[in-house]
Homo-oligomer: A and B are copies of this chain.
Amino acid sequence: MIPIKTASAWRGTSDCRNCGIRDMVLFADLSEQDFSLIHAPIDDLEFKPGETLYEEGTQALGIFTVRSGMVKLVRVANDGRRRIVRVLRQGDVAGLEALATGRYDCEAIALVPVSVCRVPLEVIRSLGGNSQRLHSNLMNKWQRALKDADDWIADLNFGSASQRVANLLIKMRDPINPNLSTLFSREDMGAMLDLKFETVSREISKLLKEEVIVPVDKLGRQYQINKPELLIKR
C-alpha cells in the first residue's frame, strides 16, 4: 500500500458551520443541536494529481466530500483490467459505501489538485440515526451517486467512439460556463469510455478539424465548445 502523507495533505480541522459549499454538502441545514453531537474531528485534506485518496477493499477512515477538483473512481475487474467507473466533482461524496460495509468498494485517485473534507464514520453513524435532516441528506447523496453511475453506463458506454467522446465532452462541461469542458489524459479517457487512447485522440482531432471544439490550453485538457448542436447530434 502506498502510504498517504497525511502530514503534507492535512490542512486543518474543518469549521463546518462556515463551509464555503455548505449548501451542497452532507451537513447542509443541520441545526446547532446536531452539530453538538459531532465529537470527532473533520479534517480538511488536499491531494495532488495522481495521489490516492483511498484504495479498494481497505478499512475506511471516513467518507469524503469533494470541495474542489475532480476524483476518479477506479475499479479493478477480476482479471486485472482497470476501469474508471465514475468521476466526482464539487459537492459529490466518495466512499459512501463505507457506511454500510466499513470498507471502500473502489479506489479513488485525484485527477487534478483536489481539496476534500473527510468525515469520520462514527460522526455519520451516530448522527444518521438521530438527525432527520442528515438522514435525508444521506438519501440524496446515495441517490445522486446511483444516478451518476447509471448515467455513466447509459451515456458514455454506448454507441460509436465519436458518440462516446461527444457525450464525455457534454458531461464534463463546467457547471458555471457550460461551453467550457475539461478533459483528461487520453489514457484516462480511454478507461472511461472503453476505447484505446489512440482512438480517443483521433476523435478529438476530428472535432478540432471540424471546429466543433477549440483548445483553451496547450495540454489538450480544456476545450471551448463551439458548436454544441454538432455534439448532441452524433
Contact = CB atoms under 8 A, between A and B. Distances in A.
A219 to B, nearest CB: 27
Given A83-B158, A158-B77, A106 B232 contact: no
A29 interface: no
Contact of A154 (B85, B101, B151): B85
Contacts of A232: 78-79
A4 interface: no
Interface in A148-179: 149-155, 157-159
B135 A129 contact: yes
Most buried by B among A77, A81, A140: A77
A83 B154 contact: yes
Nearest to A99: B139
A40 B159 CA distance: 44
Contacts of A150: 73, 75, 85-86, 105-106, 149
Task: List 9 tightest A-B contacts by C-beta distance, closest first.
Answer: A100-B143, A149-B149, A142-B142, A75-B154, A129-B132, A100-B139, A85-B150, A157-B157, A97-B143
Given A83-B153, A100-B140, A129-B136, 8 more contacts: A75-B154, A85-B150, A85-B153, A96-B143, A97-B143, A100-B139, A129-B135, A138-B139
